[in-house]
Structure formats: C-alpha cells, structure tokens
Structure 1
Amino acid sequence: MSQSFAALLYGRDLPPAGLKVSAQFVGDRLQVGGDLRLEAAADAITIETGGFDHDTLYLGWTDATRGRLSLAPLDAVARATLIASAPASLEAALRRYVRSGRNDRGKWLLLGGLAGTLALLVISVVLGYGLIVDWAVRMVPPEVEEKLGKSTMTELRQSGKLLENGPAVEAVSSVGNKLTAGSRYHYHWAVLEDPSINAFAAPGGYVVVHRGLILAAKTPEELAGVLAHEVQHVENRHTLKAMVNGLGWATMATVLLGDVSAMAGMLAYQVGTTHYSRDLETEADTQGLAALARADIAPEGMATFFRTLAKEAPQMPIALLSSHPATEERIAAIEAGIQALPKKDYPPLAIDWPAVKASLEANDKAP
C-alpha cells in the first residue's frame, strides 16, 4: 500500500510560501492530492536540493497546465516516507541526495556568527529597519547576485517559453544595451511567451519582457521606458531588498553565504509579481528617466505607456499594474520628471517596430 506524505508545493500561481498538500507514489507516478489532483511520471521528475546545507529535498517537474512545479516534503518524517516509497527509477538520485545531506560544520559556524551579528542588530531594526535592509543587501557579493539571477533564468527556461533569440529579443537587447552602457553588470535580455503585459528584473542583470508587453507597446520608446525602470531595480538591488522584506532574514542568510539553490526556485516563481515599496518604485522611475536621457532615448515613452495601461486596464491582461501600480499620482510624477529634464530633440529608435510585433504574432500562428 502506498504511503502518503505531507509536502509543500511551489508554482507560479501558488502562494510564495508553498501550498500544503498530501502526496504519494503509486507505481511509477507521483500523485498530489487535494484540489489540484496533479500527477507526474517518475522519469519526468528531477531531484533538486536547496536550503542552507543543501538538506532540503525538492521533486521538480513541468506540468502541461501549471508549468514548472516543485514539491518539498514538509518535515523529516515526510522526507523519510518519500525516500522509502519512491520508485526504483529515482533511487540513484535520492541516494546522492542522502549522501550530500551531511552537515558542513564550517557553514554552521559561519551561520552562527552571522546570526549573532544579526542578533546584535535587533534593537537597531526598530529604530531603522531600512538601514538594516540596506546593510544586508550590501553584504551580498556581486558574484552571488549573478549566480542567483542565472539560477532563476535556468528555472524559467524549463518552462519552454523563454525566447533568447529572434527579432523581439534583438529589439529588447538593442534598447537595453543603450540603457546599461558602463554598468557594473553584464546584462542578459530575454522574452517570455506570455500574453500578460509584464516585465521583470532578476538580480545580477537579468531582464525578461513578456510578449504581451511588446505587443501592447505602441513604439520602441514605450518599451524603452519600461526597460529603463526595470534596469534601475537591478542597478539599485531593489529585488534583493524585496527578498529581504518578503522572504525573511533566515532565507537571506543563506544567500549571504552563497547558497542560492533553494532561493532561485522561489524567486523564479515570484519575480514577475515582486512588489516594491513606493519609495523603490519612485527611485526606479526617477533614475529610469535619467537613464533614458543619457542614452539619447525620448523619455516620454515611459509616461505614455503607463497612462495607456491605466486607461485600458479593464480590457487588457495586465500583470504589470499589480506589481507596479500606475496610479495617477505616479504618472503625474513621471510627467513632471520629464518636464524637468533639459529640452532636446531625441532621435527615434532605429527599430522596425511593426516587424518586431509581427514576429511574435507569427509565433501564435505557428503549428
């Protein structure tokens, strides 16, 4: 008789902290109970590890409807049940996981030192939480930030919907490279085959634009306005700041130590809907306008795009407004920022915008 085990299920449309479910292996298939009623063949499942000492076990697979999913046993008992009841096809991978689960004493000592340091700062948190967040973000080395962004993109690639070449990607790259000339980051640009109007930035210089946003933008300058904003989230490490606020100090400690494996999976599911504070959004808008001017790109595109979205939101599949609200106050501030810039005539971007859109629309018609 199959043994069920409690677990947390992670996915793009599931709670960031995971959905508690009951799961079991029936023959060579994993069955997830509850309202979802999901199944996955054992040979389609990958064994992934994460957590501070790589001791968290994840079963990963791609569902035809829900995309990439990860299942983590809820506790030690559930983990033991999973390992004992798994089919033979997963035995070798699970053996490697068990071997890799031995404690690394040095890491624990380092974490203890970090915990002590954070404890000493608890009183300061009450007086200046923002300063503590800034401190934690500064502690993350650039190479860890790059690793986190790269791992996030690896997770997104497994959906099969990430475009990294073609006319649309070339257009995004050409505009993005203008905006990031001289940056400390080496930027990577991609387009996600998703009809919602969205764009997002992952740490380390990884920026993804949804197909729906490109189709909604009337000009390449409107695309540039969105990219200028997202680039500032990278340059100012806003995503890392949001991670500290949203995922807690314990999770951030693993990133400070360079262990990003578990974090990358969660970030891949959350990054498109990351909520930034009003101050961070304002900073991204203000510095984004300055970046457009430096790149000799007309800044009006930022304002016209957000105003169009705010006006047409009820008729459009928009994700951008949930994480970057285009309020009247915000749009007015953007327009005021444009008026404050030195007046000049900006050359139009040399991009065949109708051809870029046509290339994405052609994908819809392809068999």
Structure 2
Amino acid sequence: MSSSHQLSVAYFDGLTARAQPVLMWVERGMLQLSGPGLIRQVPLNKVQWSERTRHGARLAHFTDGGTIQAVNPADWDSWLDHHDLGAPLSTRAHQSWRWTMLATTVLLMVAVMGYWWGLPLAARFVAPLIPQAVSQQVGRATLRAMDEQWLKPSQLSQQEQARWRVSLSKAIAQGLDGASADTNATPPPIQLQFRQARIGPNAFALPDGNIVITDELIGLLHDREDVLIGVLGHEIGHITGRHGLRGLIQAGLLGVISSVAFGDFSTVLASAPVLMGQLAYSRDLEREADDAAIVFMHRNHVRPSVMSVFFQRIKDEGQHKGHAAPPAGDDTDKRIGIAFSSHPADAERLAHFTSADIDKGLEAPAHP
C-alpha cells in the first residue's frame, strides 16, 4: 500500500455529529478506513459516492448510515479519478457545456421529427377509432362558430340553391358510388351549405359531412359545373379521409404535450371549433384530397385537367382586384377545409390533375 494513495477524510458514524479524522484507501476491492479507535472495511460496490459538483461538499454514504466527507475537495476528486471512482459519464456530461449543447440539439431534433412525422402518424392511427358521432358534434359546433364569426347567409335565391343542390347531389351520388368498398369506411351523408364569406371563391368541408360553398365560388364557376364537381370532389376527399378530424387530433395532441410540459390542458377540447377554423391542411393531406378528387371526377366522366380553368380564373380574379399573387405553393391564410386558397395553385398540383388525363388517354383542355 502506497501512502500516496491514502486520503485524509472525516468519518461520521451516523449516531453522533462528531467528525472523526481517518485515512482511507482501496485494497482488494474494499474501501479501507483507519483512524484512532477505528478500522473498517466496506465493499466498494456498497459505497454511494455523491455526485460531483463545482462547489458542493464531497461525500460518500454507507448502508448503515455512516458517512465520510472530504477534507480537501480537490484531493478527493484526484483520489477518485486515480481509482476510477470518479463521476459517471452522465454526471460529467451534464456538467459539460459541449454535452449539454449536444443533448439540447438532439432534443430539438426529436421534437421537430415528432411534430412533422410523429403527430400526423398518430392522428392517422387515432382518427378511425373516433366514432362518427364525435365528428358530427365537432362539425355542427364548427359551423355554428363560423356562422357567428365570418360567414354570412347566402345571397343566392332559394331556387338557385335548390338547382345547384339537385345537380351536385347527382354528382355526389355517382362520385361516391363504391367509395365505401374502396376505403372500408362509410362516409357521412354529404350536405351542401351555401354561404357568403370574406374568403372569396372557396369551399370547405367539415367532419360531419357538411360542405360549405361560397356564393363567390358559384359566381366564378356558374358556367362550369364540371370544374365545380372537381372542387367538390376535393372537399369530399377531405371528409372521407377524415382530414379535419386528423388535423384536430394533431392540434389536440400538441396541446396536451405542451400542457404536460407547461401545465393546464383544460381548454384543449373546448377550443375545438376555433382550431377547426384556423388550422391548415398539410401538403400531404391536400395531395390525398387531390387524388380523391381525381377519382371522383373520373366517376363523373369529367377530365381532371379542367381544374386548370379554376386556377386560371382564380388568378384572373386576384389580378382584377389588384391582389398580388403570392409565390407558387404559398399557403398564406389558407384555412382548414378550403379546397383551394384564393391565389393560384402551384404547378405541382396542376400538373397532377393534368397527368390524370394523360394517364387516361384524354386530351387536356386549353385554358379559357
């Protein structure tokens, strides 16, 4: 035994507050303690070494209540390191700014991946488990809230509304023929609602099967029922895919996770109608709805490429009103359920609709 491997420490027997000076060293896997009137051996695996801190006391505890305390913290740390009894990797890591920065970066990456991929995947799994009765309640509550805030009664005559309902209902019946067999799910009954709104020529779907069509959209496409069928098919795609409910589930899960971290999630469910009115569909959900619209149009013997008429008219209307067109793909002010926001669709979506004609061997129509 080398004296350089001995360390002077203070020993407390756990029965009195009196410190007893002793020497400690390691020999044959045992912690040896020796001092006036004390000789003790303790297996190293029975010693609980305190976590090393910058300014805290250095301690070690025994199972019988005994304790040893460093007289000189620097010598204590050097002695532990010499015997490979220093702080574990976890302790050294959280005391290192480099390891802390790395851990923070990894945590942020996990959070971002969870937000972009984890939440949508969870929503896709949970949505089919939600009873249709819940979708009905959410849809009705959302429509009431929207009617109170930013929708107005339609200015279309009752006769015109009835005419469009009859015409479009035929397209709905034909477009949904066999849909439940394809998706193994029965979509809720589709109900058409006409409203005047500040969102311009648009339509949006609610989880209960209601599709709101604005007067401005009817005015824009009054002579192109085939194009209106395409917009309707897109919205029905949101309904059959339960996209509104999936978006609400994502927002709810995010709210719950945030509430677990920061407290109070009592208002998450109460704010469902507001969330429904403010959330935007993701690009993946929009692509799903576009695919559903293409199938819907094929069943109605409508060429998907006629959607170019809609895009062009939306663009012309924006320019006529003096609104600068946003960059392609911009989703500014795009609200949940709206088939297309009030600016030109990006080239990717238009190409997708046009290619559906090409795949079917049909000739794409010219722009109006």
TM-score by length of 1: 0.50
